[in-house]
A = this chain, B = another copy of it.
Amino acid sequence: MPAKPLEQYERLVKAARSNLRAAEVAENILSTVEAGLDFLSSANQLDLESKVEGKSYFMFALDEPRKRSRPINAALFSFDLEAADESLSALLGGSLPEGATADEVDRALYTAVMAYCASADLLKSNDKKTPGTFFEILLGHTASNWFQSSPSRQITVPTLGKEITLPTDLNFDLGPAKSRIHMPVKLSTRERVVQVWAHQRVLDGMHGVGRFRGLLMACAETNKQGDASVVEVCLPNQWIAYQMYIAQMYRVYYLDPPEKYLTLGTEYPFINVSRMSNFFFEIDNLTGPT
């Protein structure tokens, strides 16, 4: 019998804290996902009315005590444990699953994220912290193997008189021949997203424009209205103003990309938003000369 998702999560956090890139982290991610899928397979699934064109959503549900999960994109979630395990193992280790399509890559990652997040929604009350941490560990570990570099979570500000250190999102040093990577990881963005552009601006100011390329990794912008329907909450005009006047994010990747953000790439200021699988397919182009 597999350990429960919350217990597996605790083991994962402990392993990630000591070394985010360790093989033990991948093992614990896989066990957490397995435990999550196992737990969710015994929960009810209730369809939600989708107000997002072209997407279907459902939620997991428990009675007594009454619990409801966040909305799950039906096309991106799969209970096929073997497929998820195989694809996920490859991605976590730094390579594409053999012959994998973009759809399979996105589905493996989305399933992994929701396996834990939906479990936490049902097993805890109003927990916003551990789902975000799980997402950050999953992508941080994966990216560290793809970049073959351990990320840092702080950065030194070299002022003339003294040195100060700032906490940041994940950042990767890929050596002098490549751009560095500034990688904020957020399940959803909403009003806090200005932080992403502001941190990029601080990095540009400290180390020169273009020294760090900003890659925002996000999951979805879905919002449940009561327990009935799902909308996507997007603020494209604010993103445009941030990209024009604060700093330039190089890429934005979503597991469940909102249409309103995908179209930001077609008009000035050309914010390049795409599905997460693109990160893996285009990674060689992300760090070299433009």
Contacts and interface: CB of A to CB of B under 8 A. Distances in A.
A23 interface: no
A100 interface: no
Interface stretch (A157-165, A226-234, A251-259, A278-286): A157-165
- The number of chain A residues touching the other chain, given as a range, is 20 to 34
Interface string A159-180: 1110011110000000000000
Interface stretch (A43-51, A181-189, A198-206): A198-206
What copy number does this chain have within its complex? 2
Interface in A235-264: 237-238, 240-242, 244-246
A71 to B, nearest CB: 24
Contacts of A19: none
A195 interface: yes
Which residue, A161, A191, A197, A241, has most C-beta atoms of chain B within 10 A? A241
A194 B196 CA distance: 10
Contact of A241 (B160, B191, B202): B202
A191 B195 CA distance: 9
A191 B194 CA distance: 12
Contacts of A164: 237, 240-241
A202 B245 contact: yes
A198 B241 CA distance: 11
Given A165-B237, A237-B164, A238-B166, A246 B244 contact: no
A237 B167 CA distance: 10
Report which residue of A164, A167, A194, A195 has the largest number of chain B beta carbons within 10 angstroms of its beta carbon: A194
A205 B248 CA distance: 13
Nearest to A245: B205
Contact of A202 (B166, B192, B202, B242): B242
A191 B169 CA distance: 13
Contacts of A161: 267-268
Nearest to A191: B195
A242 B165 contact: no
Contact of A245 (B167, B197, B206, B238): B206
Interface of A: 157, 159-161, 164-167, 191-192, 194-195, 197-199, 201-202, 204-206, 237-238, 240-242, 244-246, 267-268
Given A166-B238, A201-B245, 6 more contacts: A157-B237, A165-B237, A195-B195, A197-B198, A202-B241, A206-B241
